[in-house]
Chains A and B, each alone.
Chain A
């Protein structure tokens, strides 16, 4: 009786899916696609490479080491780290105008901010302004969690403690030293400044830090980092944020200031300059170097010859490959294609 039913019940569905007949695009690496593709990619890359290369060429970068390794250097006196509040000067001359918006960076070499310890040793709650964590920093901050085992450090952790604390002043030497205005606002990432790092809402800010102590290496507590600008003080101090955005590689530069001012809006004019450095940060002990870098940027960012060259090389290789493939294809093509 239900024989018919049974059969229909057991018979698998006749759908394209179950029968593996789904309509499908079946691409094949045919010569008609691959060879033109290679040519196109090659040409595009060569084009981009040329553009990148030219752009990169037009960017000016001035990089100066001020570690004071050489005795001739003015900063040599400070490099030993024996003189407190040591000041030294770095002189340089511009023969041509340093065009465009000029950025002032400091650079460090052989500095392993990418070490896991740096990444781990941070209390994000604390940095986001949660006052509970001011008094109870996370364990990950150890050994910069407490001083003497009880007084909490704010901001805690290795990363904060090791904050770069050299300061720079740039003077143009026109008869007298004319200070070049440096703007420290907006040098940190927008998201860091507006989201990630927050001061506690307590006013005055200092009260929030009651019962805490500054990181041991810091000369002054966090709430005194920039007394002139409350929006740049405490945990949202831009220099602090810049430092806390740790570098991926051992040689890095970080933005220190933008050069502003009406006289320098279109660049640094030729002439002699001096940078007055408050030399505080010790790098000689681990063979690190400190640098200042002046640079302008283009649409593609800073000077970067590698990218342009790489694009040119890869593009040319693609074109060469396409020719090789064409030859091979012409010699060994499928008989059916004839």
Chain B
């Protein structure tokens, strides 16, 4: 509509035609080349200089430089400004250049990755950056997806392919994608080259879970959705190869769209510094104005009369013009109050701190051989001010490795190993017992293995269940080398555990599961998978063993499972409940296991009802669930498992210490609520001591608002009890402090110190006002936690509610946001940044954390894991979460401290230096005469006083690193910004001005009347300059000596060296030699030589020094005595201890043994046991039973495999009927994901988990006999899946069959049979008194969830 619109207009719709570059070129879509660098060789200098001069400070100095070139104004030589300016510009330019070099390198690396593009029917290697929208590219297993692709076809049956999206959203479970059935047949490059479909879809956006578009091909429209897409950043897994059509490339990809803008981060100190510099600049202008007015007055009152001596070219009475010139002259000489070296020095100090971070061996991870890295060197001191930490979960808090840790089998708990002091528990060796065991599996309790070996039927049944009841796929490339592909790591861990204990899951077909039980291959017929979903929180399988017994195996959340147990399990259930509590108390994820024997009739009956439910068109899901519910009754409890979602080392301790340091930790995870809460408990973010854990999970704005409001109300209800809580808190603090001291070895004194700190703490926190109002929310913190779901968060982050959300969430000690998208993570951080003036830190490991990392003030990436996206976007990276405590409490704290001390001193010394000119103005006719030699002015900031303060800024320590870890409260001054703020700044300035007054007026008073011993007066300008300069250097050196708390050899060297340099350079500058070469430049010849031998001069200097320093000293001493800071106390204690020569306790430190805290925190109520945390979505159940994801090779049906068929069943069907059923009808609309289940399809696409029962196709009707002889698994398969007769055939003597098949466990089966009989007899499932306990537990669980 508007013709003048700037190019390019925002894309409204994307049209991509496959294999037609010309057509696609028209739209000028972004190419796949990614550019994050800023300069190239040619543009570097101009662009960089342009950027640098955008810095106000640099422009200001350039301006000064120009002023200095005007002779009427120039009160100082030009080199006093240009030397530092060039220095600054060069250092910055070098740094920028090296930064950009690395960006170029990483860009190149990514852009030059190879990919295979289909061009003219053949595959050609092409660099990533040359891939265009509309190209068809081939991906191979374990390759990164190069761009956002529409999946066309893959090597797998039904054109499925598996991807890992860890880089994208942090979830490490595999996801399955499927191509459209119409494109699935485009197998080879030739076909693909002729593919000319056109995709019309939405413009590039950042929604990872949504895609909508249409494929026009062969005059047909095919809808596309996210299931057909492979996004850049994903990794192809378990798929030999696949072909995809590039839809979005480079910056348009969802990955890049999600990565957010790169913003230059500034620290709060930077911002404060800029404000202060602005103030100083105003101050400078004020001074200039005052002096200019003085000049005008002087010129009109005195100067005009003085004309006979001070004759100049000006019009006689134009004192205003003179004042104008004088103003600029003073701007030049007073410019040193805003020293250019400030910025350079700050950068140097930060660089030094960054190196210390890089060099820290305590932040080096030897497992992955990565040292910590400060990737941004400009944020260090901000690390000392962090108030909010936003952490990713997977890969950050957890290792994302699940391990089977404990279990309870029929009332007997296994997995707890009694620690014999000093002896490491031995890892069990499974290999001798079981050649198929996974060598990486860790288990320590030998009794469990023994019981399996001895043939304990419960143990065996327990592991049999684990080996059968799951949706894991196995891959056996070589005999005995099993690889499990689990949709969730939990399942993998359980199946692996079963594998090690002798129940090895080998392979599966849609209708069978083959297990090697204690060395014996057994094939079970898989009758049904009752898949997992979030409501059911359990899954079951129904299998028929070779002896034709039908049994249902169920695993799931105990709360739900226990309701469905047979009453006879009451006693066992109680014991198991105890065990579960115990496990859960240790933060393990628990599952309860149960089975049920089914008679043939029961099965038949249920199968029929299932078929009905399955075929229903309305409410199919609900009906299915009801059907499932029906059969999962009267189960017999087997036991429970406990899986450890392995936290990274030291995570709970780190979190504990960080929260002691008053840092609030928020976990933002893409995981589901249960998992997140579970981790919250296991890393001690959530504890049972908490008054309440609020769960916000509303789907509408109103409900979220309501839930937030209720949470606040609850908090306020708790407010009256706050007094107690606070006292408790203080006590705890004191305890923590004394603990810290105790470690230091000062046990006796510790109590006193603790008490003192505690009372100090009380002083710091004034008692909150009486009536509970919204403001009191701020002071409540500490007893609540908030869990919020992604969909609720979306509402909570809306503009009108975010305030409410922030106030509620910030009143909680811990906040967990689950199911959040990468962008939401960034939004949460943004909201906190907006509403709280706090420093935020985001830590994560995956590409899904990138936007959060970039948004937060400080981004930390976990390195050493697979992805590097997070690290690349981060400011700091290291490989273990626990290093965070050292980064913040040690490095951050030190950096902040050093930077603050540096800034205080720096402003002080420059004011002391510069303001002398102001006072001198009154005695030189406001003529902008400098007090000092111009060389002194040039060198003062860059030579005489820079190194000692730099050394302090780099090396200073108030307390050793161990102490700051032991006393996390030491971190507080940084958060409250106590060490350098406007107040501190004014104190420094005042001190500087005071010093300048002393430095001017003491020499003034002394020298005006003074003579040398030989009678010459000492009141001449050069003597005055030398005396003042010397006094100044000595005073500021004494001051830095006072400020330095940690005198290393380097500090000594710099402080003494600076003094020595000052005298050396001054004497050299005033020497005859230099004068004889440059008489004009060095007209101070002989001054210092003459002046510094005068005792009077030294007496003057001594007097000035003492007058400057004594008040400071007295003030500091009194402050230390009257109002000691915690750091002072710690330092004092430390020094006293050192003096007493008490040997420090070895291995002391803030990281207290996990055992201690666990002991205290353990045994929480059974509120969160239902940690059935696997499967982010419904499982692979339907894929398995429909056979969609079965590889032909894995099925021993290879001989039926034909190249053009996509399903083994098709093959079978062809065999049977010699008619071909093209599969596209089945797969046209349906997709393998459970959410796309369609009820319209024939058995193949039918999501039915009931294989034996599918009778509505000609296939079954026509088949009465098993097909041709098959290898071992085949009979079971065919009988189970294909012949209804065999399904119906099992006789009543099944129990005997079981006995036969499991000869090794004969004795057990006697009992089993008995139980089975009893089940058969008890048909009334009515509630029995035995169940009371269960109900109680359940109620507990429910209340917890509701709150």
Chain A residues in the interface with B (C-beta under 8 A): 3, 6-7, 10-14, 18-20, 22-31, 34, 37-38, 41, 45, 48, 52, 101, 103, 105, 110-119, 122-125, 127-128, 130, 138, 142-144, 158, 161-162, 186-192, 195-196, 217, 242, 245-255, 258, 282, 285-287, 295, 297, 299-304, 306-307, 310-311, 314, 317-318, 321, 325, 328-329, 332-337
Contact = CB atoms under 8 A, between A and B. Distances in A.
A113 B1017 CA distance: 15
Interface string B466-478: 0000000000000
Nearest to A334: B1132
Contacts of A52: 1099
In order of increasing CB-CB distance, the 5 nearest A-B pairs are: A191-B1086, A248-B1024, A302-B1011, A18-B359, A116-B927
Given A247-B1017, A304-B1006, A335-B753, 9 more contacts: A19-B359, A25-B1047, A116-B75, A187-B1016, A248-B1024, A310-B1103, A314-B1107, A321-B1110, A328-B1121
Contacts of A114: 920, 923-925, 927, 929, 1021
A314 B1015 contact: no
B67 to A, nearest CB: 15
A263 B638 CA distance: 128
A20 B957 contact: yes
18 contacts: A22-B1048, A29-B1117, A112-B303, A112-B925, A114-B920, A124-B1083, A158-B311, A191-B1086, A245-B1021, A249-B923, A249-B1019, A252-B1008, A253-B1019, A300-B1096, A302-B1009, A302-B1017, A336-B753, A336-B1133
Interface string B892-927: 001000000000000000000000000010011101
Contacts of B1010: 301-302, 304
Contacts of B1022: 245
B526 to A, nearest CB: 44
A191 B927 contact: no
B1020 A297 contact: no
B1011 A336 contact: no
B349 to A, nearest CB: 14
A255 B1015 contact: yes
Contacts of A13: 359
B928 interface: yes
B1072 interface: yes
Contacts of A118: 310
B1131 A10 contact: no
B961 A20 contact: yes
B1217 interface: no
B35 interface: no
B310 A29 contact: no
- Max count, chain B CB within 10 A of own CB: residue among A24, A101, A161, A242: A24
B1005 interface: yes
A17 to B, nearest CB: 8
A294 to B, nearest CB: 11
Contact of B1103 (A18, A249, A254, A311): A311
Interface in B2-58: none
B369 interface: yes
Interface in B218-250: none
B929 A19 contact: no
A217 B364 CA distance: 79
Contacts of B1094: 301
Nearest to A307: B1006
B1090 A125 contact: no
A248 B1019 contact: yes
Given A34-B1113, A191-B1089, A20 B927 contact: no
A73 B928 CA distance: 38
Contacts of A250: 923, 925
Interface residues of B, number: 105
Contacts of B1096: 300-301, 304, 307
Contact of B313 (A22, A34, A143, A161): A143
Contact of B1106 (A45, A195, A255): A45
Nearest to B931: A248
A158 B1083 contact: no
A26 B1048 CA distance: 9
Contacts of B1008: 249, 251-252
A314 B1107 CA distance: 7
A143 B312 contact: yes
B302 interface: yes
B1097 to A, nearest CB: 9
Contacts of A6: 369
A249 B369 CA distance: 68
B366 interface: yes
Contacts of B1045: 26-27
A115 B927 contact: yes
B360 interface: yes
B1116 A112 contact: no
Nearest to A59: B1011
Nearest to A159: B309
Nearest to B74: A120
B358 interface: yes
A249 B1006 contact: no
Contacts of B955: 20, 22, 24
Contacts of B925: 112, 114-115, 250
A116 B358 contact: no
Contacts of B1005: 306-307, 310
A293 B21 CA distance: 100
B421 interface: no
B1086 A34 contact: no
Contact of B1132 (A11, A41, A336): A336
Nearest to B741: A336
Contact of A255 (B356, B1016, B1051): B1016
A122 B1081 CA distance: 12
B609 to A, nearest CB: 59
A211 B960 CA distance: 76
B1099 A24 contact: no
Contacts of B1079: 124-125, 127-128, 130, 196
- Max count, chain B CB within 10 A of own CB: residue among A13, A116, A186, A254: A116
B364 A325 contact: no
Contact of A300 (B1090, B1095, B1121): B1095
A115 B310 contact: yes
Contacts of A28: 1131-1132, 1135
B1017 A255 contact: yes
A197 B882 CA distance: 72
B1301 interface: no
Interface string B977-1020: 00000000000000000000000001011111111111111111
Given A143-B311, A286-B305, A125 B1080 contact: yes
A335 B760 CA distance: 14
Contacts of A14: 361
Contact of A307 (B1015, B1085, B1100): B1100
A251 B1004 CA distance: 11
A102 to B, nearest CB: 9
A174 B378 CA distance: 83
B1268 interface: no
Contacts of B1023: 248
A102 B1135 CA distance: 59
Interface string B1097-1115: 0011001001100100110
A52 to B, nearest CB: 7
B356 A336 contact: no
B786 to A, nearest CB: 38
A103 B369 contact: no
Contact of A103 (B366, B1015, B1107, B1117): B1015
Contacts of A110: 302
B662 interface: no
A196 B313 contact: no
A325 B1113 CA distance: 11
A252 B1114 contact: no
A323 B1080 CA distance: 54
B415 interface: no
B1042 to A, nearest CB: 8
